[in-house]
Chain A
């Protein structure tokens, strides 16, 4: 089945450690996105990529980094510079070929920093 796979689903890390969240899609979508969701709040855009080897900062990029070496993959690294990394992270993708522009989401990764 086509879709977006995020891993791991749950991740615990000590303060000061970098962590990398995986996002893989087999939908052949050009664009990929990372969002952060805090309890009881909406979604905030961290980074997005419209094409391989290119990406742009979203609204809250500080303390995060990404890469887009392959069309299928868009990993997110939460660095030690991120002051409050505990959150639910959502990866999404979309196709530039459709007129509606809807986003398809993965199941999310919950990061807890101890």
Chain B
């Protein structure tokens, strides 16, 4: 079946540090890939997405590139802020929202 693997957290960084959160997936066909963010006590918000190989999703300084050859969708940000502290979920959708699969989430803490 389809699956998503994320790096274990928690990740603790100082403000303005470079962020990478690794995500790899297993899926048949050509899934859409997503990063969601969850702030404390809230629901999940879509951060960025990519729907085909080599697509780059970007939003709020975060980026991720759909790499089919390595089945990866790593999240990066050049300079994190305290306000980026949250839990980040990598996810895939195999077909129009069906078979939506989430990774376990990675907690990020950014210290001033």
Distance in angstroms between the alpha carbons of A102 and B32 in the assembled complex = 8
Interface residues of A in 62-114 (CB under 8 A from B): 90, 92, 94-96, 98-108, 110
B60 to A: closest C-beta gap in Å? 16
- Tell me whether chain B's interface is mostly helix, strand or loop, or mixed: strand
> Pick the contact of B102 from A6, A42, A94 — CB < 8 Å?
A42
Contacts of A98 in B (CB 8 A): 96
Q: How many residues of A contact B (CB 8 A)?
A: 27
Contacts of B98 in A (CB 8 A): 31, 50, 101
CB within 8 Å for A105 and B51 given contacts A43-B89, A94-B96, A94-B97: no
Interface size range of chain B in the complex: 20 to 34
Contacts of A53 in B (CB 8 A): none
Distance in angstroms between the alpha carbons of A75 and B101 in the assembled complex = 22
Distance in angstroms between the alpha carbons of A45 and B99 in the assembled complex = 10
CB within 8 Å for A100 and B44 given contacts A41-B104, A42-B104: no
Contacts of A42 in B (CB 8 A): 89, 102-105
Q: Does B81 contact A (CB under 8 A)?
A: no
B34 to A: closest C-beta gap in Å? 6
> Pick the contact of A102 from B34, B102, B103 — CB < 8 Å?
B34
Distance in angstroms between the alpha carbons of A29 and B67 in the assembled complex = 30
The answer to whether B43 touches A95, judged by C-beta atoms less than 8 angstroms apart, is no
CB within 8 Å for A102 and B43 given contacts A31-B97, A42-B102: no
Contact surface of A with B, Cβ cutoff 8 Å: 4, 6, 31, 33, 40-43, 45, 50, 90, 92, 94-96, 98-108, 110
Besides A4-B43, A50-B98, 13 other A-B contacts (C-beta < 8 A) = A6-B43, A41-B105, A42-B103, A90-B44, A94-B100, A99-B51, A101-B95, A101-B96, A102-B32, A102-B97, A103-B44, A103-B97, A108-B42
